[in-house]
Amino acid sequence: MKKKLLSLLMACAMLLALAVPAFAADEYFEYDSESDQLTQPIEFQARTFVPTVKLSLPKINENPVVLNPYKIEYSVSIADANKLNGVGMAAVGTNADAANQVISPVYRIKNQTDVKLNYAVVATATTEGNLSLASAQVPANDTGNKAYVAVVLRKASVAAGNITSNDSDTAATLDGSDKANYETLVLKSTGEAKTDNAQPKYLDAASSTAENYLEFQFQGSLSRLSTKPWSADDKLTVNMTFTFTPETAVDVTGTTVLTFANDYSIASGTATNLTTANLETGSGKNIAEVTNAATDPDWVIVSAGAYAAKINKTPGSNGAAATYTLSLDKAKVDAYIAAKKPDGTAYAAGNTITDKVILGYMDNKGFPRTVSVPVKITLAT
């Protein structure tokens, strides 16, 4: 009996010997020092995790942009055009550019970062000689030395497979009138020209199988009948600063669409007869609370989309929670509808426009959160 009891105790001791190290490894941290002091300071250093941004920028060669006030035929070989930006550069053509007064290839910045990057642009210009910058297209009968020069930027990235082939002598042109897909920066004589950062502009993330590009091009017009003849001393220098920001993921994706229905009327395909219902002077639309929002979520705008949405807050009375409504900026909606749709056709009565806004709120545990809210506008029939 004693032998059996002793054997049982030894077996239990062996089991414990095997179990304790495994338990310790799973549940406890390792220690590398001992101390007999009653006061024990421990320092922690937090690391900030950010992506490694990698972008390929265009090479700027001689005469990257040409001002052609007299509309004289100007040609650049495909080989020379490709030296400006390497693979994928659109060639500057002979026939098409004979009609242009601002001759520019389509420049491309390639995103080689594995995250989506939102971007903003600031452009400053300086002039020499008799050249002066105009804020609008220069009339054909202008007799000064004026130049209207703008930078047309694509809002969303374009994949390598969708870039027009450059193996023919044809100039690619970005359509600045297509405001749904492009933004135009008009260069100024003094001060900065900046992108509208209320509207999202982005470069998709790169991958092992995808290359994504930000496209931009210089366009414009110049005086044709200048009293003082144009000369090589009339020069324009442009400095552009691109700021890229990794896109922040939203905490919640909204499913309830905020619908602005029949709030607009359109006459003859224009946006001249828009009503103001539910716009900046209207009642707005109620914002449905997400399930984990606080009693008073303290809604704020994080990204307003194309319509410059804003939050209106009405404080509650007698301790009641505040009421929040989402309103749209009428001028922004006007401009959006006046532009062509992404497929190049014009908006018409009965069409719907969809977008999203990113809202911030406080959750029921006091943490700030974000939610992507779908927005739809139906044009009156």
DSSP 116-178: -EEEEEEEEEEEETT-EE-SSPPPTT--S-EEEEEEEEESS-EEGGGSPP-SSS------TT-
Same domain, 88 and 108: yes
**Does the residue 12 lie in any domain?**
no
Handedness of CA 269, 272, 273, 277 (dihedral sign): positive
Picking from 246, 270, 304, the residue at the C-terminal end of a domain is 246
Same domain, 159 and 229: yes
As for how many domains the chain has, the answer is 2
Helix, strand, coil share of the chain (percent; to 5): 15, 30, 55
Q: What number of other Cβ atoms are within 10 A of residue 82's Cβ?
A: 20
Per-residue confidence (pLDDT) for residue 89, from 0 to 100: 40
Same domain, 230 and 315: no
State the Cα–Cα distance between residues 323 and 85, nearest whole angstrom: 53
**Does the residue 290 lie in any domain?**
yes
Same domain, 241 and 179: yes
Same domain, 206 and 82: yes
**Does the residue 82 lie in any domain?**
yes
**Does the residue 225 lie in any domain?**
yes
Q: Tens of pLDDT along 47-97?
A: 999 888 899 888 776 557 889 899 887 665 555 554 444 333 444 444 445
Same domain, 195 and 315: no
Same domain, 364 and 315: yes
Same domain, 68 and 206: yes
- Which positions ≥6 away from 373 have C-beta within 8 Å? 254, 256, 258, 287, 326, 356, 357, 358, 359
Q: What number of other Cβ atoms are within 10 A of residue 262's Cβ?
A: 15
Same domain, 267 and 224: no
**Does the residue 205 lie in any domain?**
yes
Structural domain boundaries enclosing 142: 55-246
CA–chain centroid gap for 120, Å, is 7
**Does the residue 39 lie in any domain?**
no
**pLDDT over 90 (residue 124):** yes
Per-residue confidence (pLDDT) for residue 238, from 0 to 100: 95
- Give Rg (Cα) of the chain: 30
Picking from 225, 246, 267, the residue at the C-terminal end of a domain is 246
Same domain, 195 and 317: no
**Does the residue 27 lie in any domain?**
no
**Mean pLDDT, residues 179-189 taken together:** 89
Q: Which residue has the higher pLDDT, 272 or 349?
A: 349
Q: Tens of pLDDT along 230-254?
A: 999 999 999 999 999 998 888 888 7
Same domain, 267 and 178: no
Same domain, 82 and 122: yes
Q: Which residue has the higher pLDDT, 67 or 3?
A: 67
Per-residue confidence (pLDDT) for residue 273, from 0 to 100: 29
Q: Which residue has the higher pLDDT, 124 or 86?
A: 124
DSSP label of 88: T
Picking from 246, 266, 285, the residue at the C-terminal end of a domain is 246
**Does the residue 242 lie in any domain?**
yes
Residue 276 sits in a domain whose CATH number is: 2.60.40
